Amino acid sequence: MHAQPGTPSDPDASPAGGTDPFAAPTPTGADPAAAQAPGEPDEPREPAPPVTRRAALLSGGVLLTAVLLVVLLLMPVPYAVNSPGPTLDTLGEHDGQALITIDGAETYDSTGQLRLTTVSTTGGPGYPSSVLGVLQGWLSPSRRVLPVESVFPQDATQEQLDEQNEAQMVSSQENATVAALEELGYTVPVTLTVHDAVEGTGAVGVVEPGDVLLSYDGTALTSYGQLIDLLDQTDPGSTVTLGVQRDGAEVDLDVVTGEREEGGGSQLGVYIDPTFDPPVDVSIRIDQIGGSSAGTMFALGIIDKLTPEDEADGRVIAGTGTMDLNGAVGPIGGIRQKMAGSLRDGADWFLAPAGNCDEVVGHVPDGLTVVKVSTLHEAREAVEAIGAGEADDLPTCTAADAADAG
């Protein structure tokens, strides 16, 4: 029973209308008896239902499945995956240093870019492909998945592959330097030393390892390109006289030339180890990239630096292709990935070897224009035409070219 307001029910009652400052307020409409006194402990809660054996097994199964799925996605598989690699401007810097430096001649700046292109590949020794990587490769139009044995020698170690790629890069740089200087009219003195004769040719038993070539049918040899030109003008099966230096003496040797596999002109039938003495000192600094496919872009970069004309004139031109000592552009691998990497890095134009037209046709990314080149001279003219805004008539890969290349 509650006392009426203003009527004390006992001596300790509060005056009418007063408030006990130590009493807990009772919400309007609430049962005062239900209010919890200060300091009174919470009512005990209902305990959580026990985990059943079935629930525990289900949770453990989900966790195990997730772990197995991660392991499966990351486990190595016998495939190689080619992806677009980095591109580098041969007219710019690499790791804070000029990629190409030249001493012994005046050099000139350029406002354009000539970008070499690369392919990043997994699947080789030390860099296995995973299930996840292969799945991504199959789903991506800029990647390619191949059986690993079609890309890497199965008995090769990572160290052996690195040494091979480095040797190819050094040879590529030397070829590019010689081809570029000769394209500009320089004479590049060379010592043409015979490494060995090619089995099945007319040079076997006539030319010996260590012979130094001095003349060809009475014409003094002053460059490697000159020897190639002379062979171009010689019919297969002709007998030519080679002047060589052997053991300090000059000797004349009669050699029957052979037919080239690609046709046109003759082959001498010897492996030559040339040693060059270029009149201009060219140094190319590049790390973590190997192979021979950057030769064409190296050569174009050297030409650009040694000529006062601003050939590219602000354009971003990428490309690829091996470079022979006589200036021939050769086909390479991974051209689809290289085109994709070029577009990604801002290139509008791409120089492609004619021998790769079968992989170019139907696979050119939107926004990229491809120009077909067979020689360094053609590549140089293409760069000049692009820089001058006169590129409408430059050759590109056609279906007929693709059939020839294939």
How far apart, in whole angstroms, are the C-alpha atoms of residue 81 and residue 120? 8
- Indicate the pLDDT class of residue 65, thresholds 50, 70 and 90: low
Helices of type H across 251-317:
295-306
Confidence at residue 109, expressed as pLDDT on a 0 to 100 scale? 94
Crossing angle for the helix pair 224-232 and 158-183, to the nearest 10 degrees: 80
How far apart, in whole angstroms, are the C-alpha atoms of residue 136 and residue 134? 5
Sequential DSSP letters for 52-77: PHHHHHHHHHHHHHHHHHHHHHHSEE
Confidence at residue 128, expressed as pLDDT on a 0 to 100 scale? 85
Full-model pTM? 0.77
- Indicate the pLDDT class of residue 132, thresholds 50, 70 and 90: confident
Mean pLDDT, residues 286-306: 93
Domains of the chain: 84-184+279-405 (3.30.230), 190-276 (2.30.42.10)
Q: Residue by residue, what is the 3-state secondary structure of 283-300?
A: EECCCCCCCCCCHHHHHH
Mean pLDDT, residues 67-81: 68
Q: Nearest Cα to 284, choosing from 91, 85, 118? A: 91
Q: Are residues 189 and 277 in contact, defined by beta-carbon separation less than 8 angstroms? A: yes
